[in-house]
Amino acid sequence: MGKAQRKEMAEAVSYEERRRRQMEANKRKLEELQLHHLSTAVREAAAAAVKPSPAKKRKARVPRDAAAKPLRRSGRVANLPEKPKYREEVQDFARKVRRTYGSRRKDLENRVYATDEERSHAITKAEDLAEELGSSFPIFVKPMSQSHVTGGFWLGLPTPFCRKYLPKRDETITLEDEEDDESETLYLARKMGLSAGWRGFAIKHKLVDGDCLVFQLIERTKFKVYIIRASSYHKDKE
């Protein structure tokens, strides 16, 4: 081998050795860079793990005094009328119902029940009185039952009499007793009976079950009323 060839081989070997060393150096740099990035990533992850979460916003507490104050309203809404308070009205209505029920209950407890003999005796005496009064004025006899003198206090009148003699529309009818004391009642034409005012007349004259009344129509809307007591049976029997 010549001197020139040995020189070329030595240069080739030297080049390869430098190239190898360079590659190893580059490799080490890359490894160092990767380790650096990895350590950085690890540190960032650890820092994120222990980083406190953002604090939640709390609503401001409203003082009690402020909460009790009425809300401000626009002028248009403020001028509207206040809503009605139904609770008080319902309570008042309930009290009225209880009072009414209580008074009616008291009436029921104080009921007087006539015997058949007392009832029959009063009817006979009333019919006799109607005959004595004559036919100068329209007349009819009405025995009293519990519904007439307690509870509902409704007095239905004989249908034929109403159709023939009484007004065709609702009207005030006066009841005059044997002492000429007058009481006003409301006559309901469609129902053919006395409503408002009859209760007062019945209570005032202490009517009870078994009593019998004679109604004499002395004017267009005025009755003369004669009362035959059921209790008269015992007096007449003595």
Mean of the per-residue pLDDT values of the chain: 77
Question: Higher confidence at residue 187 or residue 82?
Answer: 187
Residues 6+ apart with CB under 8 A from 219: 174
Cα gap 74→95, rounded to integer Å: 39
Instruction: Show the domains of the chain with their CATH numbers.
Output: 116-233 (2.40.330.10)
What is the C-alpha to C-alpha distance for residues 170 and 162, in angstroms, rounded to an integer?
12
List strands edge to edge, sheet with 182-188. 139-143, 212-219, 222-228, 171-176, 182-188, 193-194, 155-156
Proportion of the chain above pLDDT 70, given as a percent:
62
Q: How far apart are CA 225 and CA 27, in angstroms?
A: 136
Structure tokens, 175: 């009841």
pLDDT tens-digit profile of 9-24?
A: 666 667 778 878 888 8
Q: Going by C-beta distance under 8 Å and a sequence separation of 6 or more, which residues neighbour residue 148? A: 154, 155, 202, 207
- pTM over cut 0.75: no
Percentages helix, strand, coil for the chain, rounded to the nearest 5? 50, 15, 35
Rounded CA-CA distance 182/204 in Å is 11
Closest CA to 223 of 150, 168, 166: 166
* b/e burial code for range 30-59 (CB count within 10 A of at least 16 → b): eeeeeeeeeeeeeeeeeeeeeeeeeeeeee
Model pLDDT for residues 83-121, shown as the tens digit of each residue: 443 333 333 433 443 343 344 444 555 677 889 999 999
Site of tokens 């990767």: 34
| Residue 3 binned pLDDT confidence (cut-offs 50, 70, 90) | low
